[in-house]
Amino acid sequence: MDIVAWIKDTGLHTWLAESVGWFPYPTTLALHSAGMGIVVGMSLAVNLRLLGVAPELPLAPLRKIFPFIWLGFWVNAISGVGLTFTDPDKLLNWMIWIKFAFLALALVSLRIIQSRVFGNPHAEEPLSEPSKALAVASIVFWVGVITAGRLSAYLGFS
């Protein structure tokens, strides 16, 4: 892959790959974990609510959670680029592409939930079956992202 070679030539790659101590690479990794905690954790909380957990939580104010979820996403997008620059050979790992596929599905489902359920100012209970199915799908996708991400350390090498 040309992009792998291109990345390896950059100063950013050298700086990250030659990390000694906790900065910059391990800290980038820690930021990625923190972003994951926010994105997946808060998404799980919203999805659990859609599935009927903590029903006393009114739906409308939960819209305010989404800016935090998207902030976590951007922290991970940026730290993810940093991680790719550290070890661009990861792009040759098919398990990472499974992670990206789950990520795309998770983001699409998140966006649909945000506009369908929370974009409607009169969002009502009981929630429709499609909304609940979306919540389940979203949970499955996020679990898929995490699992594929972790397993890419063990599998996916050609």
In the complex, which residues of this chain contact another protein (CB under 8 A)?
21-22, 25-26, 29-30, 33-34, 36-38, 40-45, 48-49, 53-54, 56-58, 61-62, 64-65, 68, 142-143, 146-147, 150-151, 153-154
How near is the Cβ of 144 to another protein at its closest, in Å?
11
Closer Cβ to another protein, 1 or 153, answer by number: 153
Go through the chain and tell me how many residues it has: 158
Distance CA 40, CA 145 (A): 9
Closer Cβ to another protein, 9 or 144, answer by number: 144
And the tokens for 125?
A: 């209970």
Closer Cβ to another protein, 25 or 73, answer by number: 25
How near is the Cβ of 130 to another protein at its closest, in Å?
24
Give the count of beta carbons closer than 10 Å to the beta carbon of residue 39. Answer: 25
Residue type, 5: A
How near is the Cβ of 95 to another protein at its closest, in Å?
11
How near is the Cβ of 21 to another protein at its closest, in Å?
8
* Centroid of chain to Cα 137: 14
Q: How far is CA 84 from CA 4, 28, 54, 152, in A?
A: 9, 11, 39, 13
Query: Can you name the residues that pair with 83 across neighbouring β-strands?
Result: none
How near is the Cβ of 77 to another protein at its closest, in Å?
17
Closer Cβ to another protein, 9 or 64, answer by number: 64
Residue of 80, 133, 141 whose CA lies nearest to 108: 141
